[in-house]
Structure 1
């Protein structure tokens, strides 16, 4: 039996796989051992050829050259990666190679990276697939012990390639049309354009906003305070004159408690992190950009091996991960979570079949959680520590009990006026206790109330007045934009199309790059923690076809790409339809 050739996506991943497989002879572009040869891509080594490669007439940017619809798109080795591709190509042709193991990222894009290399390299031998969610030694060993047949992932590759082809046909033609028609270098795309449209539409809402003032009154009764409620059950008073009139009728008067409602409530832990949710929280709490979060997370995954696969779109784990939870808790022993993690190992923890363990909620990869690798925080940078703590904190919260609290509402009548007080008193902190391990302050807790019963009389000691203003819609931050992209279905009226946008605009893996591309093209700019469109970006949306600025196009594509990935639609039919509509 010959040697198995392993193709990883990055050099760092390849080095770790080679170490685990016992490969120690380093050569230029690969590492060889007794039974394996491990080589690597550098992300994409292959791209779709540019228009000029199909027709010399298409090298010149003119409207008369449109549309550019080659019968068959071809692959081209990227200039910057020719040397590494030549290395892989020579390895694919070695007579002592018995089969190829694809070890690129386990997902649609990773499959495309590998398959284009295989196709361009002319390999036609046996193919196996390594499909793992973490880079620990144990995960790699288990993955190689349970390699999958390569043909099982051919529909996934076909879906990835169909999307790449469609993006070429639409992006190349629309970008050239806009640039030539308006004599300015403008670009547009299926995901980029609706994302930019979200930002420009929000800016238009802000500019069209006409605010107004309103007033609120709060009565202080000694042990508690309460807010004035109008006849419409609103606390807003539309004029200062009316607010002053009501205040004068309340001040110094004696009120009576007419109702006390007590209710015990609970709040379940949040769901585990997927990439988009982690990027949102990292932006909100740490000030990280989406790309900064992904890059830091990639280091925690590849270099330190203390978190699972970063580009996950799932917030759940599968049943086979449950037996590993104790080992993952054990790995936190030398961190601020160590005391509680040991208690959980000894005394048990929550295993919620609806909010954490959910087979139907996992496609390619489960939620982002700690691995079984022992954590040494001293080896991490400040950014890595901060982001890892978010992941670990959420993991511990998911395994913890509900937060229980008592909600008390007190209604006080002062003459014809009503005032309401809402009080919250924790009973059991549950999952909210986890944040205290990082010395984070919890939410404010109401002061204990004295014994109160319906009928008690209380004097209004004073009335505080506050002028407020209705707020304009807020610009998107990177965190809120990521959420809007992930939930783009809410911007689509058609219910069937909305279902096909369940994955949102772009993917967990690509959204950060889309935002960065919009910034690099000077279509949007950062202003503090917010994003605003530039005049150039607003002009692009004004000029681009309406269909390209709506999430509907992505919804239609994703429906069909999903069918291709499941083997339910022929990819060529999809491509033909894209070319016809272009």
Structure 2
């Protein structure tokens, strides 16, 4: 009997690529098979932690008396519609010709959890190895299979992932239930999302407390360029009269250039991208949400195979990557003249600090792979993200940006005006010219007293954008590169936060939530401490059991404080409209499809659209789109232009068969055309049928 290895990938698309490379090309139901390998897949998570109602009947109902819920052991259960794939994996694991299982899920914390839970559930008792790769190219996969690692090498990573999931269960479910029961509204809180929300609110408070100040600035004009008077205090002149008096003093003196300084400044290329940096740049340049950028770079990694593993927190490369640089440049050169020039010069890395093994944990920085891109298959958004990664990568081969800074000091008595100019000496890694020469002044040169008063107003801080929020989350250790986009989306979807233009705003519901929970849960310091502890578990420096024990104590404390709180809460989404089913008040709920009225009684399922939806159904009179109305008389169409109403029908238009299409075309193209056009007659006939 020929023994085979069973490969467990995270997604079907990845499994098919691995199967192609390993020549496992016989398609079976839910797996592929070859002479040496059997390749199957998860669908992301097939299992999740059991819910409270799965563990204790008393926990089925949301009530204060059963909180906090602290189970001794949580356990896992299949997610909806996952049993079929789990059954397939179970059967494959038990096959007698399978002697080894290879985990080939994403090489990260969550990927490890996906695989371990599956293998636990199907009771796998065979040798288990780990494929650990940073890109999905054919070469990377083949090399990875030549260097499989024992799965036990990643036990600590699994322990860290399990600790994270358990902590989120304990804190998230208990605090959310406590708040929801106490204040009779769906209030969601968590160990990462709540301090993230607080960061947005802190910026809002700065804006709200901001009081604009008016002040006056004195400018000196020389050859069309302005310089302002150097002041110790920006608000020295609070009235125009004060500024005018100062100008009178200055005019008593003759202006003179007393000092001209020339300095050459070098600016090295920026560090390579980790996921958070890429999300921040994509938000600033193109307005992409963190979630959208993650989706785009994930496709570049999985489908196009042109970038390395995206969910990385490192901006550095390990030294073994040096040997692959020319291959990566060769892949880029067809679409980049800069890459071709770098290869001609020997592909020498200028920014050598980018190689640092100590700063690479699970994965190195985001860089292009050796796969030549086929831009015909890229969307415009995918190409933008790919170009960002490529340009940042090419920067490590480029000289620093070099410019001369010229500073001229013009004195009127003891008062000074400073003129600044810049001259680009070497563009280096930068792609755009930033040459701002300014005026060139000479020492001892006399200057005319051309003064001008400018009225100024202090500017309030800007709201946090997703780019600036991601930077704050990274600074305070909130979440990981892989989870930050998901956290932001959850806050928006639970109506704690909303997008306004390119900024983020906390809703009235979110503001109240921040006042209802313990300040420790609001502060990023506690969550940052937890994230560091999770990292220590992954590194083997901390036991998972100790971490969970501390989380249980924190859970008890947080729930007790909510129960004993005297804080009041107002549901701003509650309306004065009554539910027709149970007579409770209706609430407004925002969804992707518009706003809905939903019943505030949690045991009632009544819901309807708040505003009529514009349908594709046309008015028989004016032929404009009609509104779809949900009212006491049921669902019906109404034209807002002429008031025509119609009841919807369940009849769907029959699709024209190929035979009917040919018959219609024959009628249209007939030679003996009557007075009325053949097209008009054919369409009439078709409508009568």
Fold shared by both chains (TM-score > 0.5): yes
Show the counterpart of 2:292.
Answer: 292
Assess, with a 3 A threshold, how the Cα gap between structure 1 residues 292 and 187 changes in structure 2: closer, same or farther. Answer: same
- More helix by proportion, 1 or 2? 1
**Contact 1:349-1:400 within 8 A present in 2 as well:** no
Assess, with a 3 A threshold, how the Cα gap between structure 1 residues 237 and 89 changes in structure 2: closer, same or farther. Answer: farther
Secondary structure (helix, strand or coil) at the match of 2:429 reads: helix
Distance in 2 separating the partners of 1:329 and 1:547: 49
1:287-436 → structure 2 map (5 Å cutoff): 287-335=287-335, 337=336, 339-351=337-349, 355-432=353-430, 435-436=431-432
Report deviation, 1:244: 3.0
Distance in 2 separating the partners of 1:181 and 1:26: 54
1:230-249 → structure 2 map (5 Å cutoff): 230=231, 232=232, 237-247=237-247
1:564 to 521, 526, 537: 537
Report deviation, 1:52: 0.8
1:443 to 434, 437, 441: 434
Say if 2:458 is the partner of 1:470.
Answer: yes
1:481-500 → structure 2 map (5 Å cutoff): 481-488=469-476
Unpaired runs of 5+ residues, structure 2, are: 556-689
- Of the structure 1 ranges 277-286 and 10-19, higher mean CA displacement relative to structure 2 is found in 10-19
Secondary structure (helix, strand or coil) at the match of 1:480 reads: helix
Distance in 2 separating the partners of 1:33 and 1:139: 20
Report deviation, 1:254: 4.4
**Contact 2:103-2:131 within 8 A present in 1 as well:** yes
Show the counterpart of 1:541.
Answer: 514
Distance in 1 separating the partners of 2:288 and 2:32: 36
Deviations 1:367-413 (A, max 9, x none): 11111111232321111111111111111122211111111110111
- Of the structure 1 ranges 148-157 and 562-571, higher mean CA displacement relative to structure 2 is found in 562-571
1:27-66 → structure 2 map (5 Å cutoff): 27-66=28-67
**Contact 1:258-1:454 within 8 A present in 2 as well:** yes
Say if 2:167 is the partner of 1:166.
Answer: yes
**Contact 1:250-1:463 within 8 A present in 2 as well:** no
Deviations 1:277-297 (A, max 9, x none): 000000000111101100011
Show the counterpart of 2:601.
Answer: none
**Contact 2:319-2:355 within 8 A present in 1 as well:** yes
**Contact 1:89-1:121 within 8 A present in 2 as well:** yes
Distance in 2 separating the partners of 1:506 and 1:513: 10
Distance in 2 separating the partners of 1:236 and 1:352: 47
Distance in 1 separating the partners of 2:42 and 2:544: 26
Assess, with a 3 A threshold, how the Cα gap between structure 1 residues 287 and 266 changes in structure 2: closer, same or farther. Answer: same
Assess, with a 3 A threshold, how the Cα gap between structure 1 residues 407 and 349 changes in structure 2: closer, same or farther. Answer: farther
Distance in 2 separating the partners of 1:580 and 1:480: 33
**Contact 1:247-1:463 within 8 A present in 2 as well:** yes
Say if 2:505 is the partner of 1:532.
Answer: yes
Show the counterpart of 1:87.
Answer: 88
Say if 2:27 is the partner of 1:26.
Answer: yes
Report deviation, 1:224: 4.5
Show the counterpart of 2:526.
Answer: 553
Assess, with a 3 A threshold, how the Cα gap between structure 1 residues 146 and 237 changes in structure 2: closer, same or farther. Answer: farther
**Contact 1:300-1:307 within 8 A present in 2 as well:** yes
**Contact 1:23-1:33 within 8 A present in 2 as well:** yes
Report deviation, 1:194: 0.4
Say if 2:232 is the partner of 1:259.
Answer: no
**Contact 2:220-2:452 within 8 A present in 1 as well:** yes
**Is the radius of gyration larger for structure 1 or structure 2?**
2
Secondary structure (helix, strand or coil) at the match of 2:270 reads: coil
**Contact 1:253-1:459 within 8 A present in 2 as well:** no
Distance in 1 separating the partners of 2:446 and 2:75: 84
Distance in 1 separating the partners of 2:242 and 2:374: 62
Show the counterpart of 2:216.
Answer: 215
Secondary structure (helix, strand or coil) at the match of 2:82 reads: helix
**Contact 1:252-1:459 within 8 A present in 2 as well:** no
**Contact 1:273-1:315 within 8 A present in 2 as well:** yes
**Contact 1:350-1:401 within 8 A present in 2 as well:** no
**Contact 2:283-2:289 within 8 A present in 1 as well:** yes
Show the counterpart of 1:455.
Answer: 444
Secondary structure (helix, strand or coil) at the match of 2:436 reads: coil
**Contact 2:422-2:435 within 8 A present in 1 as well:** no
Deviations 1:182-201 (A, max 9, x none): 11111111100100111112
Secondary structure (helix, strand or coil) at the match of 1:7 reads: strand
Show the counterpart of 2:75.
Answer: 74
**Contact 1:165-1:575 within 8 A present in 2 as well:** yes
Assess, with a 3 A threshold, how the Cα gap between structure 1 residues 158 and 352 changes in structure 2: closer, same or farther. Answer: farther
Distance in 2 separating the partners of 1:560 and 1:103: 26
Distance in 2 separating the partners of 1:20 and 1:298: 20
1:179-218 → structure 2 map (5 Å cutoff): 179-218=180-219
Show the counterpart of 1:494.
Answer: none
Deviations 1:203-232 (A, max 9, x none): 1221111121222232122275422112x2
TM-score, structure 2 normalization: 0.78
**Contact 2:268-2:351 within 8 A present in 1 as well:** no
Secondary structure (helix, strand or coil) at the match of 1:4 reads: strand
**Contact 1:228-1:235 within 8 A present in 2 as well:** no
Q: How large is the RMSD of aligned CA atoms in angstroms?
A: 1.8
Distance in 1 separating the partners of 2:330 and 2:452: 53
Report deviation, 1:88: 1.4
**Contact 2:350-2:399 within 8 A present in 1 as well:** no
Unpaired runs of 5+ residues, structure 1, are: 437-441, 489-503
Deviations 1:346-365 (A, max 9, x none): 21345357531111111011
Deviations 1:254-305 (A, max 9, x none): 4110111111111111011000000000000011110110001111111111
**Contact 1:3-1:34 within 8 A present in 2 as well:** yes
Distance in 2 separating the partners of 1:233 and 1:63: 57
Report deviation, 1:28: 1.9
Report deviation, 1:249: 5.2
Assess, with a 3 A threshold, how the Cα gap between structure 1 residues 125 and 364 changes in structure 2: closer, same or farther. Answer: same
Report deviation, 1:181: 0.7
Distance in 1 separating the partners of 2:252 and 2:304: 65
